[in-house]
Amino acid sequence: MFRTLAALTTALLTATATTAFAQDSVADFYRGKTIRLVIGYGAGGGYDVYGKFFARYLGDHIPGKPTVIAQNMPGAGSRSAANWLYKVAPKDGTVLAVLGQATPADQALGQPGIQFDVRHFNWIGNMVAVNNIMITWHESGVRTIDEARKKPLAIGASGASSPSVLYPTVANNLLGTQFKIVSGYPGGGDIMIAMERREVDGRGSDSWASLKSNNPDWIREKKVNILFQVGPRREADLPEPPLLTELAQNEEQKQILEVISGDAAVGRPILTTPDVPAERVRALRKAFDDTMRDPAFQEAAKKANLYFNPIGGEELQQIVLRIVSPSPQVIARVKDAIVPKNLQTLPGAKKSGGAQD
């Protein structure tokens, strides 16, 4: 027994010494250096605001306390920055990036212009995990997906490739609902007004955070029904409506819906290049977590009216892997599932792209 205890003590001391050495090595590497946080979008948008705010606090939590500067690298919906990060940027942990939430799904669907593999990036964390939701008006007569299978509903949406078109389309194609999608509304607020006027029966996509902020009375007075939520897990204060992935009827459907739900799960991600030494990746992930817990950071975010709901790097890495791992057969089914088959456009509406709802 004495020998066993001695061996255990030796192992613990060795592990502690190894951890301390790794921490010292990371601190020595970063001390006096500058980390670039490359934002794949132009100035002023949501990714830019969140990325630059985060950069102000991150350096204090990285061993060696390097300086962190944010730089914009817009182009192709952050695809230009992703390609640069993969092919050109130093592979030593001195470059981080904020890329679009659709980056893994774009790779899975074979979108053009991709010169990277998201499986080889090191994902550090998601700053904002906010579930999207699909809602119906209380006078629609439909409160659940089961009821939506039995009754046609008019669902308001914005651009033809927006989430407000995507989610009801997928529900129609995979889950047997009968949504008539009415696209062309300029924005989410216009759809909300249309629901109140009874021009449409529901809205194809909103975020749970936005609904709570903009229409708290609707929640309190039960004026809207939430058919499902889209994200990696149910919102803590929205425990009953199912996740879109939970509506899958078999394993193939679950994989399809995981790809489609990927954008919401990836959120506002922070990542770094391939081939960064493991101890630096661990340090960066810990620094991300520590920044999110920093009282000064939280207080400043509250004053700036910025909402943070983070997912750690290891969990985010697994989410990304699930998005890009389905077989070619499943990806073909995804492509079929997202093709609208019951879509009409408001008269006079301008054609629009995939802006967030």
pLDDT in tens, 95-144: 999 999 999 999 999 999 999 999 999 999 999 998 999 999 999 999 99
Whether 67 and 119 share a structural domain: yes
Residue 192: which CATH number? 3.40.190.10
**Residue 19 confidence (pLDDT):** 52
Residue 31: which CATH number? 3.40.190.150
- pTM for the whole structure: 0.84
Sheet bearing 179-183, strands edge to edge: 224-230, 132-137, 202-207, 153-156, 179-183, 343-345
pLDDT in tens, 180-209: 999 989 888 999 999 999 999 999 999 998
For the chain, how many structural domains are there in total? 2
Whether 205 and 335 share a structural domain: yes
Strands 224-230 and 179-183: unpaired
Going by pLDDT thresholds of 50, 70 and 90, the confidence category of residue 161 is low
Whether 125 and 136 share a structural domain: no
Q: Is residue 279 part of a domain?
A: yes
Furthest-apart CA atoms within the chain: distance in Å = 84
Q: Is residue 2 part of a domain?
A: no
350 DSSP 8-state letter = P
Q: Is residue 182 part of a domain?
A: yes
Q: Is residue 79 part of a domain?
A: yes
Task: Give, in order, the Cα–Cα distances in Å from 231 to each of 159, 235, 353.
Answer: 21, 9, 22
| HSE, side-chain direction, 13 A CA sphere, residue 343 | 23
Whether 310 and 169 share a structural domain: no
Are the C-beta atoms of 254 and 245 separated by less than 8 Å? yes
- Domain extent at residue 206: 132-261+329-345
Whether 275 and 304 share a structural domain: yes
- Measured between alpha carbons, how far is 76 from 305 in angstroms, rounded to an integer? 28
Whether 122 and 208 share a structural domain: no
